[in-house]
C-alpha cells in the first residue's frame, strides 16, 4: 500500500488550466449601451435621425430662403442652381420649405410623445400598484379611449380650436397614452411583488413615492422603447392631418401640407413637389422604428440572451501566457 502511494506522480500545478481573468462588474445600462452600440440597426437609425434633426434645424441657418413672402414669378420652377429642389405653386423654395415643415413635424412628434408617455406612465403605474377597483376603472377608461376613432377626433378638435404646433401636440398626445399605460401597468404588476418594493412599503413609503422613486425608474426601459414608436406615430398622424387639409396654417407648414399641395401637380410632372417630402416622412419614421427595435433588443435582458444563444458566439478561456485552453460555442439553451 505504501509502495502504491509512492508510485503516484505528483500533481503538476503549473500546467493546471486557469479560468482567465474576471472582468469588472458592469451595470445593466452599460451592458445595454454596449449591445445597442454593436447593433447595425441602431447605428443606422441614430445617424438617420441626427441627419434629419440637423437638416431641419441647422439647415436653414446655412441655406437661406424666404418662407414668408410669395413670389408668383418663379412658381413651380424645376430644380436649378438658384433653387436646389425647385419651387412650389406659391414661389417658395422647396428645399427651404421641407426644412421648415420638418421642424414642425419633429417638434410635434417629440412633444406629443412626451405627453403620451408621461400621462400613460402615471396611469399605468397607478393602476398596476393600486389594483382592485382602481385598476379596473383605469383599464376600462383605457379601453374607451382605444375604441375612439383617433383621427376623426383630432380632425374635429383641430378645426374647432385651430391647428398649431402646441394644440396638435397636445391633441395627439392626449389620445396616444393608452399603449404606454398598458405596458407600464404590466411592468408594475411584476415589480410590485419584489423585495425592494416591500421594503419601501415597510419603511413607510406612500404610493406616489413608490411610483416616482421605485417603480417608474425600473420600468424605464419599456418607456424609452415605446417613446421612439410614439414619436414615429405622431409624425405620421400630423402628416395625415396636414394631407387632409386640416394641418398648420400659414406661415407654419408641415410635411403633410406639402404632400397635399404636391399631389395637385402630380400629373404635370412636378416630381420635386412630392418625392423629396415623401422620402423625408418615410425615412424619418423608418429611422425611429430602427431605433426602437434596437433599443428593445438591447434593453430586454431575456431577448438579449436569446439573441446571443442564436448567434452562438465562440467562448475562449485563456491562461496567463495567452495560450487557449478551451475553445467552443456557447450553449443555445438556458444556462443552468
Task: Delimit the domains of the chain by residue range.
Answer: 28-68+91-299
Fold of 28-68+91-299: MetI-like fold (1.10.3720)
Please list the pLDDT of the chain residue by residue as tens digits (336 residues).
455 555 655 555 555 455 555 555 455 567 766 777 777 888 898 999 999 999 999 999 999 888 888 888 888 888 888 888 888 888 888 999 999 999 999 999 999 999 999 999 999 999 988 888 998 999 999 998 888 888 888 888 877 777 888 888 998 998 889 999 999 998 888 888 888 888 888 888 787 888 888 888 888 888 888 899 999 999 999 998 888 888 888 888 889 888 888 888 878 888 888 899 999 999 999 999 988 888 887 776 544 554 455 444 443 434 344 444 444 444 444 443
Q: What is the largest CA-CA distance in the chain?
A: 113
DSSP string for 38-84? T-HHHHHHHHHHHHHHHHHHTHHHHS----SS--GGGTTPPS-SSST
For CA atoms 80, 84, 85, 91, give the dihedral sign: negative
CA distance 35 to 74: 51
Chain centroid to CA 151: 22
Amino acid at each position: 500500500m505504501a509502495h502504491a502511494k509512492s508510485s503516484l506522480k505528483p500533481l503538476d500545478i503549473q500546467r493546471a488550466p486557469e479560468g482567465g481573468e474576471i472582468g469588472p462588474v458592469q451595470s445593466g445600462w452599460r451592458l445595454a449601451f454596449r449591445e445597442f452600440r454593436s447593433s447595425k440597426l441602431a447605428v443606422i437609425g441614430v445617424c438617420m435621425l441626427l441627419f434629419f434633426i440637423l437638416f431641419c434645424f441647422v439647415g436653414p441657418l446655412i441655406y437661406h430662403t424666404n418662407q414668408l413672402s410669395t413670389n408668383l414669378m418663379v412658381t413651380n420652377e424645376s430644380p436649378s442652381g438658384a433653387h436646389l429642389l425647385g419651387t412650389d405653386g406659391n414661389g417658395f423654395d422647396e428645399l427651404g420649405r421641407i426644412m421648415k415643415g420638418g421642424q414642425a413635424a419633429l417638434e410635434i412628434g417629440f412633444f406629443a410623445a412626451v405627453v403620451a408617455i408621461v400621462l400613460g406612465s402615471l396611469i399605468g403605474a397607478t393602476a398596476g400598484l393600486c389594483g382592485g377597483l382602481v385598476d379596473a376603472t383605469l383599464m376600462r377608461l383605457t379601453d374607451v379611449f382605444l375604441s375612439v376613432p383617433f383621427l376623426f377626433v383630432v380632425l374635429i378638435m383641430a378645426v374647432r380650436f385651430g391647428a398649431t404646433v402646441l394644440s396638435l401636440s397636445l391633441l395627439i398626445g392626449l389620445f396616444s397614452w393608452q399603449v404606454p399605460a398598458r405596458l407600464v401597468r404590466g411592468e408594475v404588476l411584476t415589480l410590485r411583488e419584489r423585495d425592494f418594493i416591500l421594503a419601501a412599503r415597510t419603511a413607510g413609503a406612500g404610493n406616489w413615492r413608490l411610483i416616482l422613486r421605485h417603480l417608474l425608474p425600473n420600468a424605464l426601459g419599456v418607456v424609452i422603447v415605446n417613446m421612439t414608436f410614439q414619436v414615429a406615430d405622431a409624425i405620421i398622424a400630423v402628416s395625415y392631418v396636414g394631407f387632409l387639409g386640416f394641418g398648420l396654417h400659414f406661415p407654419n407648414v408641415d410635411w403633410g401640407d406639402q404632400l397635399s399641395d404636391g399631389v395637385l401637380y402630380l400629373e404635370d410632372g412636378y416630381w420635386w413637389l412630392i418625392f423629396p417630402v415623401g422620402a423625408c416622412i418615410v425615412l424619418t419614421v423608418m429611422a425611429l422604428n430602427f431605433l426602437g427595435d434596437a433599443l428593445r433588443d438591447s434593453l430586454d435582458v431575456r431577448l438579449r440572451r436569446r439573441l446571443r444563444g442564436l448567434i452562438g458566439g465562440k467562448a475562449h478561456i485563456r491562461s496567463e501566457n495567452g495560450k487557449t485552453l478551451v475553445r467552443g460555442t456557447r450553449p443555445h439553451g438556458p444556462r443552468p
